[in-house]
A and B are shown apart, each in its own frame.
Chain A
Amino acid sequence: MLKRYIERFSWVDFLLKLFQVLALAAIVIGIFNTLSVARYSSDQWVTLIFAGLAQGSIYALIALGYTLVYGILLMINFAHGDVYMAGAFTSVFLADSFALSGFLASHPVLAILILLLVAVTVSMVLNVIVERVAYRPLRGAPRLVPLITAIGASFTIEYTFRGLYGAEFHAYPTVPALSGIINIAGYEIPRVQIVVLVAAVVLMLGLYFFVERTKIGKAMRAVSEDKEVARLMGINVDKVIMITFAVGGALAGAAGVFNGLFRPQGVFFFMGFIPGIKAFTAAVLGGIGNVPGAMVGGLFLGVFEAVGPNLILEGLGIPAVNQLRDAFAFTLLVIILIFRPQGIFGERLAEKKA
């Protein structure tokens, strides 16, 4: 009996379990320490959570692009973060001139809609071009090959926009109509966060209905189930893939404008890199290929990233936790991929292991 056990013993499993236990212990101890000394008031937590939700809704919009593409092509579109950058970076110049001319103050809704339209168009077109040039000719190649072109596409986009628009940061102007504070159940939340959150959720719902209800959405799902069969059913697979990239790009473009509206840091050519990885994390979190999963995953990641460092790391006695926010989110990615690669809600494509 003992021999049978020893023969089946795996160091990998053992060490991964150990790591799991240690990680859990660190989280529990951290939370306990932080809460027991009441370092932050409930006001502060709520502020953090709402900031996290707004940020998370942006991750979710980007994550949808990853998830849609992965669902259909089983590949990570590494360039997606840069598609997001392209939209945000392009419309910042327009936003500047709107602010200068006073249009942004006099017609905020119209102005923001135009900004969205520009960003969405740029990102959408760019994503379609990337698919056409870098991925379509390689359909059916070994998996490593499109992965490498995707990395290449990512850097090509980044440095193309650096060449076009320069290497400086450009901050979005503040929109008077969006500044200020809304009082919700006694908590004061910046208005812009609420607006971004609501707008993002509306877009996500729109996408959900698009995928579930429309004819194109159904074709997308058919292609993601089985490309060959879909082709036999008379679906133009190339066109569906193109539309998928277009939709993913459009959402990323919108995310770019939202991001510009509520984060004062400004946009620049490399801004897509880190949100790209994080949005991918969100997509994996929700189960890659799973559309509602990506939405929830994004929101969860946003909150987790906003609250986690203060809640967990500070309790462990680590100084200057704000510096570690990104590392914290990436660690979550690693942990999820180790222990639950199918995500929280399960991957729609779990059986499609290739």
Chain B
Amino acid sequence: MGAILTTRNVTKRFGGLVAVNDFNLDIEEYSISSVIGPNGAGKTTFFNCITGFYVPDEGDIIFDGHYIQGLSTDRITHHGISRTYQNIRLFSNMTAIENILVGQHPHLKTLWVEAIFKTPRFLKEEAAALEEAIRLLNFVGLAGMGDLIAHNMPYGAQRRLEIARALASRPKLLLLDEPTAGMNPNESAEMMHFIQRLRDELEITILLIEHDMRVVMGISEQISVMDFGQKIAEGTPKEIQRNPRVIEAYLGRGAAAGLKLETKGAKA
């Protein structure tokens, strides 16, 4: 299997601050990979570079054989990358179903004029989209919650809904930004299994940023460690756990050792 996402020397600066520095990464197709690192290491900025929220100052991002750096966010989504957010960003005043329907946007083809006249093609497509949305809702375990307004849903359900929305665009690569943030150990474990199921059943590639080491070590096949925007280590969970530079990066900051390497502050 080849790499589906490759980044070459990706660099992003904000004024004098180098948020992402010369970052190289190869993500195998159908793998689950993680990017970890202390707060402010540049992980989310890196995600933002991949999804087009930021244009990297230097370097190439190659996805599925296309150079995608510098493309607009919506174009990148059309190529097959989809994401969730560190602090949930649902369309909070729309219902769960509507959120998923918006996610299906890249695959809907009818024009707005057809909607005015309710052409058969439009009706057919809308019906199919609704069916698909309900299927996804069931898949993420939110059956029956489709008509709730997103911001009235429980926290865990919002996380799942965000994933369902991301899946609705039928991505080849799914980026999850701290999917277990704010969850208790039970919920985290559940989310962990859910992520594995995603990969196994939908055959997509998953890249996540995560702080919970139990999750990271439990499901990742490959881990990259980031500190001050640079990659300081890469390898399997076992290799990472033994890597002296990683331990230094975390322990050097006075964080407690152990499975959960980093205490989570209020600000991420």
A–B interface present (Cβ within 8 A): yes
Q: Which chain A residues have a beta carbon within 8 Å of chain B's beta carbons? A: 4, 7-8, 10, 351
**Nearest chain A CB to B21 CB, angstrom units:** 20
**Nearest chain B CB to A160 CB, angstrom units:** 35
Total of A-B residue pairs, C-beta within 8 Å: 7
**Nearest chain B CB to A145 CB, angstrom units:** 14
* Inter-subunit contact A10/B67 (CB<8 Å): no
Residue from B14, B67, B72 in contact with A4 in the complex, judged by beta carbons closer than 8 Å: B67
Residues of A close to B14: CB separation below 8 A: 351
- Tell me, in angstroms, the Cα distance from A8 to B72 when the chains sit together: 8
B71 interface contact, C-beta 8 A: yes
* Chain B stretch 141-188: residues in CB contact (< 8 A) with chain A: none
- Tell me, in angstroms, the Cα distance from A163 to B71 when the chains sit together: 56
- Tell me, in angstroms, the Cα distance from A4 to B72 when the chains sit together: 12
The 0/1 profile, CB within 8 Å of A marked 1, for residues 132-145 of chain B is 00000000000000
- Tell me, in angstroms, the Cα distance from A310 to B226 when the chains sit together: 59
B75 interface contact, C-beta 8 A: yes
B70 interface contact, C-beta 8 A: yes
- Tell me, in angstroms, the Cα distance from A115 to B130 when the chains sit together: 68
**Nearest chain A CB to B69 CB, angstrom units:** 9
* Chain B stretch 49-73: residues in CB contact (< 8 A) with chain A: 67, 70-72
The 3 closest A-B pairs by CB, nearest first: A8-B70, A4-B67, A7-B71
- Tell me, in angstroms, the Cα distance from A4 to B71 when the chains sit together: 9
5 contacts between A and B (CB under 8 A): A4-B67, A7-B71, A8-B71, A10-B72, A351-B14
**Nearest chain A CB to B94 CB, angstrom units:** 15
Residues of B close to A351: CB separation below 8 A: 14
B67 nearest CB neighbor, chain A only:
A4
Residues of B close to A7: CB separation below 8 A: 71, 75
**Nearest chain A CB to B136 CB, angstrom units:** 29
A8 nearest CB neighbor, chain B only:
B70
Residues of A close to B72: CB separation below 8 A: 10
Residues of B close to A8: CB separation below 8 A: 70-71
Residues of A close to B70: CB separation below 8 A: 8
- Tell me, in angstroms, the Cα distance from A89 to B75 when the chains sit together: 55
- Tell me, in angstroms, the Cα distance from A193 to B70 when the chains sit together: 52
Residues of A close to B75: CB separation below 8 A: 7
A7 nearest CB neighbor, chain B only:
B71
- Tell me, in angstroms, the Cα distance from A334 to B74 when the chains sit together: 27
**Nearest chain B CB to A270 CB, angstrom units:** 37
* Chain B stretch 75-117: residues in CB contact (< 8 A) with chain A: 75
A350 nearest CB neighbor, chain B only:
B15
B70 nearest CB neighbor, chain A only:
A8
Residues of B close to A10: CB separation below 8 A: 72
Residues of A close to B71: CB separation below 8 A: 7-8
Residues of B close to A4: CB separation below 8 A: 67
B15 nearest CB neighbor, chain A only:
A351
Residues of A close to B67: CB separation below 8 A: 4
B14 nearest CB neighbor, chain A only:
A351
- Tell me, in angstroms, the Cα distance from A7 to B76 when the chains sit together: 11
- Tell me, in angstroms, the Cα distance from A8 to B67 when the chains sit together: 10
B72 nearest CB neighbor, chain A only:
A10
- Tell me, in angstroms, the Cα distance from A4 to B60 when the chains sit together: 12
- Tell me, in angstroms, the Cα distance from A7 to B72 when the chains sit together: 9
- Tell me, in angstroms, the Cα distance from A10 to B70 when the chains sit together: 11
- Tell me, in angstroms, the Cα distance from A7 to B66 when the chains sit together: 10
B79 nearest CB neighbor, chain A only:
A7
- Tell me, in angstroms, the Cα distance from A321 to B145 when the chains sit together: 63
A351 nearest CB neighbor, chain B only:
B14
- Tell me, in angstroms, the Cα distance from A8 to B70 when the chains sit together: 7
- Tell me, in angstroms, the Cα distance from A7 to B71 when the chains sit together: 7
- Tell me, in angstroms, the Cα distance from A214 to B230 when the chains sit together: 43
B75 nearest CB neighbor, chain A only:
A7
- Tell me, in angstroms, the Cα distance from A138 to B72 when the chains sit together: 34
- Tell me, in angstroms, the Cα distance from A351 to B70 when the chains sit together: 21
**Nearest chain A CB to B23 CB, angstrom units:** 21
- Tell me, in angstroms, the Cα distance from A10 to B72 when the chains sit together: 9
A4 nearest CB neighbor, chain B only:
B67
**Nearest chain A CB to B19 CB, angstrom units:** 13
